[in-house]
Structure 1
Amino acid sequence: MKNARIIGVGHYVPERVVTNHDLEKMMDTSDEWIRERTGIVTRHWVREGETITDLAYNATNMALERAGLKPEDIDFIIVASIAGDAQFPGNGCFLQARMEIPGVPAMDIRNACSGFVYALAVADKFIKTETYRNILVVGAEIQSTGLDLSTRGRDMAVLFGDGAGAAVVTATDEPDRGILTTHLHADGRYATKLWSEFPSVINHPYITHEIVDSDRIYPKMEGRYVFKHAVSKFPEAIMEALEATGYTVEDLDLVIPHQANQRITEAVAQKLGISMDKIVSNIHKYGNTTAASIPIAMSEAWEEGRIKDGDLICLAAFGAGFTWGSVLLRW
């Protein structure tokens, strides 16, 4: 049976940098307040006219170049994203068109911050069954255009950034290389603890002036509730992957978590008894880029030489749904 191995990673963020001091001018907040609660210093937001496809395409080009492949070598595309360049079709189709590879199947996964882990798990299964050989997995997100940039929405607005990360996943015959195990979970009982109600058909199929004037069109989060579950499910997912393969925390060379909040990352490290030196964290630069955060962090870690051949790496995510999961791989 084939294994799925990542052979190229790439990332891209918009040029526009938004600092905490910039946000102070938009809402009642402060640099100190944001840093203490989130660890975020800056984030990148798109300028008018930039699209998710633009971000995804740039990240894809970097990943393909590093993999030594061309667009026509890709035989399946998976894009993880909450937002879309359109309500439909999915971002995968827009990216496929930009890559000029008509006929190549494309799908979207809308699992918020867990999206990239879910997408990698799907790619892994397609390669193990020898359905496809070279799969492009992308996490791409634009959150900035859907935030309430007033004091009313500050708890969410200060968190999010825009960006994209990509990974080229290919088949290998090496039994101990590539993706070793994947684990996915969800608990829909908590779906409205972190969600965006509109556009929606649940309560009202049409957006009215009253809805626009209210705050119901913006994402909502019960922050303490999310924090409590995240610091529990993150380490559970990582330990599940290790136990499935007979490894221990001490065997890990690197953990690349979803970049949700620096306090969550530090709490997870403490629970696992792992040094922060072994955890990739770039939330101070980019904020929470949801589905894009893990591939961006993975690409940067590779650039910085923190990822080396033979390293045992665990990717882990927790997000809306609630959804969570892990991928354990040998680089």
Structure 2
Amino acid sequence: MYSSKITGVGHYVPENIVTNDDLSKLMDTNDAWIQERTGIKERRHIKKGDGNSTSVMGVKASKIAIERAGLTPDDIDMIVFATLSPDMYFPGGGVQVQEMLGMRTIPALDVRNQCSGFVYSVSVADQFIKTGMYKHVLVIGAENHSGGLDMTTRGRGVSVIFGDGAGAVVISRNESNSAGILSTHLHSEGKHKDELALQGPATDHWVPEIIAENDQENIPYYPHMNGQFVFKHAVVRFSQVIMEGLEANGLATTDIDMFIPHQANLRISQYIQKKMGVPDEKVFNNIQKYGNTTAASIPIALSEAWEAGKIKDNDLVVLAAFGSGFTWGSVVMRW
């Protein structure tokens, strides 16, 4: 069995900054209300005409990650693309990245696990490398939320939270075995699937049916979230899956050098940090700037933390995510 490690990181966010004050012009909300509940000050949204899409942003982040890994697109053996907001219902974003980067006819796999999509994708890439099937796997998390949000008072509970962006990593065969991914841990609990969901358009509730209903008070093609219910489950599952990863490797919370949680809500991150007793300097949060970018949040934060020199060789890095499904997971790695 081989082992794998992250050899390159990169991220991209649109230039268009949308502040809480900007949103207050569209809906009944204000900066204090949003910050108190989420910790978010601003987020990035794709702007019409800027040339961005979920896949385009994924390509921009991927180019940086591939270059930092000392590779070219021809060296990549597989693409794993995590998103809940693909450019098209089908085909998925992975094949678009393959085409835009001019890659060989390598496999392109799309992962639909929403906020835990990147963690799931890292686990998939890790398994392909461990078995010896591939040497370099490009893992992408990218989201265009702004194109599908209800930007009115009716939708403010969800719409103030989400932003657009992309992050990418190259996961490579670890030739030296001196560091790398130690373990990944994945879970799901489908009985709570309706607590955080986008129920249409879908094959049982297609676009013509939605238009015919013309129900402006209950439009099913906007996301729904039971915020308090999600929060209560998130803080429990985050803690469990982090400890599962540490215990599997004979480690403790005091061994963590950098903890990067999915950027769902700053209050969740702070609660988990306090519960685990991890000091501020060992936790990286950037939700204040970008909001919740779902599958993109961990790779964006990982890339920024590395750029800022907060992740160094041999550091123990823990990633953890929880989201719609419910699905959750963790990654424990030695950088």
Give the TM-score of the pair, scaled to structure 1: 0.98
Contact 2:263 2:297 in 1 (8 A): yes
Q: What is the one-letter code of the residue matched to 1:228?
A: K
| Residues 276-287 of structure 1 mapped to structure 2, 5 A cutoff | 276-287=280-291
Q: What is the one-letter code of the residue matched to 1:76?
A: M
| CA displacement at 1:115 relative to structure 2 | 0.1
Q: What is the one-letter code of the residue matched to 2:263?
A: Q
Q: What is the one-letter code of the residue matched to 2:122?
A: L
Q: Which residue of 2 aligns with 1:189?
A: 191
| CA displacement at 1:112 relative to structure 2 | 0.3
Of the three residues 96, 117, 120, the one matched with 1:94 is: 96
Tell me whether 1:140 sits opposite 2:138 in the alignment.
Answer: no
Q: Which residue of 2 aligns with 1:320?
A: 324
**Structure 1 residues 20-76: Cα deviation after superposition (integer angstroms, max 9, x where no partner):** 000000000000000110000010000124211110011011111111110000010
Of the three residues 174, 177, 182, the one matched with 1:175 is: 177
Q: What is the one-letter code of the residue matched to 1:284?
A: Q
| Residues 1-331 of structure 1 mapped to structure 2, 5 A cutoff | 1-49=1-49, 50-203=52-205, 206-209=208-211, 210-211=213-214, 213=216, 214-331=218-335
For structure 1, list consecutive stretches of 5 or more residues without a partner in the other structure.
Answer: none
| CA displacement at 1:202 relative to structure 2 | 3.6
- Partners of 1:176 and 1:191 in 2: how far apart? 40
- Partners of 1:285 and 1:323 in 2: how far apart? 25
Q: How many equivalent pairs are there?
A: 331
- Partners of 2:13 and 2:194 in 1: how far apart? 29
Q: Secondary structure in 1 aligned to 2:155?
A: helix
- Partners of 1:150 and 1:203 in 2: how far apart? 23
| CA displacement at 1:172 relative to structure 2 | 1.0
Deviates more, 1:100-109 or 1:309-318: 100-109
Q: What is the one-letter code of the residue matched to 1:114?
A: S
Contact 1:211 1:217 in 2 (8 A): no
For structure 2, list consecutive stretches of 5 or more residues without a partner in the other structure.
Answer: none
- Partners of 2:296 and 2:43 in 1: how far apart? 13
Contact 1:266 1:276 in 2 (8 A): no
Q: What is the one-letter code of the residue matched to 1:92?
A: G
Percent identity for Structure 1 against Structure 2: 52
- Partners of 1:79 and 1:159 in 2: how far apart? 22
Deviates more, 1:259-268 or 1:99-108: 99-108
**Structure 1 residues 261-304: Cα deviation after superposition (integer angstroms, max 9, x where no partner):** 00000011111121122111000000000000000000000000
Contact 2:74 2:104 in 1 (8 A): no
Contact 1:3 1:174 in 2 (8 A): no
Contact 2:54 2:142 in 1 (8 A): yes
